[in-house]
Amino acid sequence: MRATAKAVRLADVARAAGVGTSIASRVLNGDPTVSIRPETRERILAAARTLNYRPNALARGLKLRRTTTLGIIANLAYYYEIAEILIAVERVAAAAGYVVLIADTADFVERGEAYHRLLSERRVDGLLIASILVTDDFVRELNEEGLPFVVLNRRLPGVGLSASVDDSRGVATAVAHLAALGHTRIGYVAGETSAEPVRRRLAGFRAGMRTAGLTPEPRLIRRSPPDEENVFRATSELLAETPRPTAIVVWSPTAAVPALAAAHQSGLRLPEELSVMSYNDSPIAGYLDPPLTTVRMPLREMAERGVDCLLRTISGSRAASVVVRTPPVLVERGSTAAPPA
Amino acid sequence: MRATAKAVRLADVARAAGVGTSIASRVLNGDPTVSIRPETRERILAAARTLNYRPNALARGLKLRRTTTLGIIANLAYYYEIAEILIAVERVAAAAGYVVLIADTADFVERGEAYHRLLSERRVDGLLIASILVTDDFVRELNEEGLPFVVLNRRLPGVGLSASVDDSRGVATAVAHLAALGHTRIGYVAGETSAEPVRRRLAGFRAGMRTAGLTPEPRLIRRSPPDEENVFRATSELLAETPRPTAIVVWSPTAAVPALAAAHQSGLRLPEELSVMSYNDSPIAGYLDPPLTTVRMPLREMAERGVDCLLRTISGSRAASVVVRTPPVLVERGSTAAPPA
DNA sequence: ACCCCGAGGAAAAACGTTTTCCCGCCTAGC
DNA sequence: GCTAGGCGGGAAAACGTTTTTCCTCGGGGT
């Protein structure tokens, strides 16, 4: 137990192959400029194989000044929406030979420091930021330091790179669907903060309304903190307005669950008396009661492009922010219908 | 842009303070055996501060032979249940000065190799395994290598360390609740695989039945792969049995959502005609329709103890597997009631 | 005057890579 | 016979820490 299986070093395989470490290194790394007798190369490869050699990532990183590690700062508590992103990030990163370090933003204020360290201590080659709890100021500081990072779905003009989807168009698509069904009094359960994507979605709601020839009524727009209880309350209040909205759009899939619960509690029949839609799809949306009509955004693609952008930056190429324009897709399920006559 | 703010090295702060790197290192690391003039110490500290010095984690790790990094192998697709664990792990690790590297098991078979590398390349000091997709054999291999790891909620006698909860007792608690309400025909939607925790839960179901003086009927036990569709189908089939179960227990919170959907589609009134319970709570359970009665297990504590155990192992202390015995708590919501007369 | 000691600090050897020189040898061309 | 230039490969210098070893002072005791 704890046999401390002495790690095999490059020097070990070099010795086993009867060569120096330099040539061993170059062969193992497939240096194309190396000139070597095929037989010697084979000896080295064989030695590495039988010894089960793995280069020490630390030593290599130290020398190469890169870690082949990406960091991602995410708010794990929003897991319904972050999961898809996390999965995509991990997959793309792995495909590129990178591993990913995760940092939660649960207590961002105390730990902003910690995130700095991910980069400053050179633990990661680049950082992905996927939490709206990370302040714009923090992002700006990061930018000052000149280290590579990409912000997901937040656009900070002039500071760093970002990958985002067209939130505005997405929410507008939801509104359009409801308007097409004949709804005119449409409510919106919004996020609370003034974070950029929250604003963009709200703007999309208003734009969608106007496009449909409707006027967004301020009293039918309710902001709420993201936790279940507050969303529940906000939705209840929204539904208590008179005249009542005949349809509501919820700004995020996490918020959709408690919003739906509030709708149920209001005693209204869904979808006959009230239509409910969520911006962004989620794996459970189809299994809620009623199955939730949603607008699915290309989050995975956004994450992929974000990682791509980050990797490009790391490798020194000039990369640009990307806006994924893949059109939102309306996933029509059972929670929307024409308004009551 | 990309100013490449040259990283400040230990040598830089030493020079700024007019001392050698050795003494600077010892002062900055708080070596208690150092003897130094207070004024000199202050100079060093001040220099580090004004230069905003951060030790290079790679160099330090190389020297110290540890990375202060933990790895976790998890199935992100099971995000609904893994989230709490992930959050707890990250928090405890961060408190101990560790960061956490995440690896998805989405395609375990192709990537088993990759996980090996986390450890073999010395990227992490220890590994947490939180996915049932990781095969027992893989765990055994890992064990051979003698590197520190802890398996979460899987007990592999004799191989490595684990932290787990009492699944059996948890499921039995659910059954007991239903039995107390007067149910006698209780169904169970089980996981498909023969993975150890899946077996333990099933055993808990049977034990709970017997304790209540009931006999578990094989036809009322349905195994299903974890994806939503299959769970939906399995539950539908279960509810089509005659005589019908008057209550069902679902083996995991992720599965509970589609199971509930199937219950709805069966046309039965919940909970009057059918009670539904889920093993393990989840943030949305209370907002489903009807609000789901669940048994909450101390997952967070399990994760914390697991990390603790791992850190202890890493630091060389002798650690033992831990079973968190904190009693399951019944979270009674609206999805359970007495069976129809 | 000599010895010893402790405080204060420098030098240098690792840790395991990668990579840049460089060197010897062999062949070919003169 | 002599050299230019490959070819095959080795030595050694980094990368930025930590830590051990060792040196140098001053001063106090004998």
Residue-wise pLDDT for B238-247, tens only, equals: 999 999 999 9
pLDDT for A108 equals 63
Chain B positions in Cβ-Cβ contact with residue A287 (cut-off 8 Å) = 228, 232, 257-258, 260-261
CA distance B286 to B289: 8
Percent of chain B with pLDDT over 90: 69
Say if residues B249 and B277 touch (Cβ distance below 8 Å). Answer: yes
CA-nearest of B177, B181, B193, B154 to B323 is B154
Instruction: Please count the other Cβ atoms lying within 10 Å of the Cβ belonging to residue A62.
Output: 20
pLDDT, mean of residues B215-233:
94
- What are the E-state strand segments in A32-115? 69-74, 99-104
Order of all β-strands in the sheet with B247-250: B221-224, B186-191, B247-250, B275-279, B293-296, B329-331
Give the tokens for residue A311: 């990797």
pLDDT for A110 equals 60
pLDDT for B2 equals 39
Rounded, the Å distance between the CA of A35 and C1' of D9 is 9
The interaxial angle of helices B196-211 and B167-181, nearest 10 deg, is 30
Which positions ≥6 away from B138 have C-beta within 8 Å?
A: B112, B115
Is pLDDT of B1 > 70?
no
**Residue listed under structure tokens 């400029």:** A33
pLDDT, mean of residues A179-202:
93
CA A204 to chain centre: 20
Least confident of A134-138, A166-170, B71-75: A134-138
Whether B2 sits inside 8 A of A286 (CB atoms) is no
CA distance A202 to A185: 16
Give the tokens for residue B208: 């709970």
Is pLDDT of A6 > 90?
no
pLDDT, mean of residues A318-333:
95
**Residue listed under structure tokens 């304790």:** B211
CA distance A92 to A90: 6
Whether B111 sits inside 8 A of A94 (CB atoms) is yes
CA-nearest of B147, B62, B124 to A5 is B147
Least confident of A244-253, A277-286, B204-213: A277-286
pLDDT, mean of residues A72-79:
86
Q: Does at least one atom of strand C sit less than 7 Å from the CB of A25?
A: yes
Mutate which of B13, B76, B268 to test chain A, going by most A C-beta atoms within 10 A? B76
Rounded, the Å distance between the CA of B22 and C1' of D22 is 13
pLDDT digits 0-9 by tens, B296-333: 999 999 999 999 999 999 988 889 999 999 999 999 99
Say if residues B307 and B89 touch (Cβ distance below 8 Å). Answer: yes
What element of type H or E holds A171? helix A167-181
The interaxial angle of helices B253-265 and B228-240, nearest 10 deg, is 50
**Mean of pLDDT over chain A:** 91
pLDDT for A34 equals 85
Say if residues B186 and B248 touch (Cβ distance below 8 Å). Answer: yes
Q: Which residue of A has its CA nearest to B97?
A: A114
pLDDT digits 0-9 by tens, B164-192: 999 999 999 999 999 999 999 999 999 98
pLDDT digits 0-9 by tens, B96-143: 989 999 988 877 656 666 676 678 888 899 999 998 888 888 888 888
pLDDT, mean of residues B181-207:
94
Is pLDDT of A106 > 60?
yes
* Pairing outcome for strands B99-104 and A99-104: antiparallel
pLDDT for B283 equals 83
**Mean of pLDDT over chain B:** 91
CA distance A144 to A157: 14
**What positions of strand D are covered by protein, i.e. any atom < 7 Å from a CB?**
7-12, 14-21
pLDDT, mean of residues B263-289:
92
pLDDT confidence band for A1 (50 / 70 / 90):
very low
Question: In the structure, how many helices (H) and strands (E) does chain A have?
Answer: 12, 12
The interaxial angle of helices A299-314 and A79-95, nearest 10 deg, is 40
Is pLDDT of A2 > 60?
no
CA-nearest of A75, A55, A69 to A100 is A69
pLDDT for B205 equals 97
- Of the partner residues A62, A86, A100, the one whose CB lies closest to the CB of residue B59: A62
| DSSP tag of A213 | T
What element of type H or E holds B72? strand B69-74
Return phi, psi of residue B145, to 5°: -70, -15
Say if residues A92 and A163 touch (Cβ distance below 8 Å). Answer: no
pLDDT, mean of residues A97-114:
77
Give the tokens for residue A191: 């996020």
Is pLDDT of A95 > 60?
yes
Is pLDDT of A319 > 80?
yes
Is pLDDT of A215 > 50?
yes
- What are the E-state strand segments in chain B? 69-74, 99-104, 126-130, 149-152, 161-165, 186-191, 221-224, 247-250, 275-279, 293-296, 322-324, 329-331
Is pLDDT of A195 > 60?
yes
pLDDT, mean of residues B61-70:
93
Nucleotide with the nearest C1' to A8 CA = C16
Say if residues A306 and A167 touch (Cβ distance below 8 Å). Answer: no
Whether A56 sits inside 8 A of B121 (CB atoms) is yes
Chain A positions in Cβ-Cβ contact with residue B260 (cut-off 8 Å) = 287, 289
Give the residue, A114 or A145, on which the prediction is more confident: A145
